[in-house]
Amino acid sequence: MSEALHPPPSSTVYLRVNYSDVDRMGLLHHAAYLRYFERCREEFSRRRGASYAEMEDNGWLIVVVDATVKYRLPARFDEVLAIEVRLVSVGHAALRFEYDVRREGSHTVIATAMTRHAFVDRDGRVRRIEQDLHDMFHRPEQVTRRGEVG
């Protein structure tokens, strides 16, 4: 059973398209989007006082269960992307994030995506999400100078 969040907690993270991530056509390589989304989730947690690194050190491993990306328009080298990441639902052991990618300063959504995540322990067994993690996700975000580009 999963709880849909209304409105979903969200963060907008600005990431620049790096040279090593563009392909022969000069476009952001399609696999790189998943890495950029991961950076957005890290920042989403960081702004709410949590840290992937600490969670892992405490034995909370987060695995990606599935991922879907829809690429509508290309992102080019050196562009700054404004990626809105939303936590749309939280279940007993799973999280679901959604993403809208825009070029900074533009309203046009150039890509959308969804990822689902499960919490497991070091032996790969599913772990229930504890209350304090639930609480964490509902905290208002704190944007610090630690943010990415922007």
Of 3, 4, 18, 128, the one binding its own copies (CB under 8 A) is 18
Asked if 31 interacts with its own copies (CB under 8 A), we say yes
**Is 74 one of the binding residues for its own copies (CB under 8 A)?**
yes
137 binds its own copies (CB under 8 A): no
Decide: is 125 part of the binding site for its own copies (CB under 8 A): no
Q: Which two tokens stand for residue 80?
A: 């700054």
Residue of the chain from 6, 107, 125, 145 that contacts its own copies (CB under 8 A): 145
Q: Which is nearer to its own copies, 4 or 31 (CB)?
A: 31
Our finding on whether 56 is near its own copies (CB under 8 A) is yes
Residues that bind its own copies in the complex, under the rule CB under 8 A:
16, 18-20, 22-27, 29-32, 34-35, 38-39, 42, 51-53, 56, 61, 63-71, 74, 76-78, 80, 124, 145-150
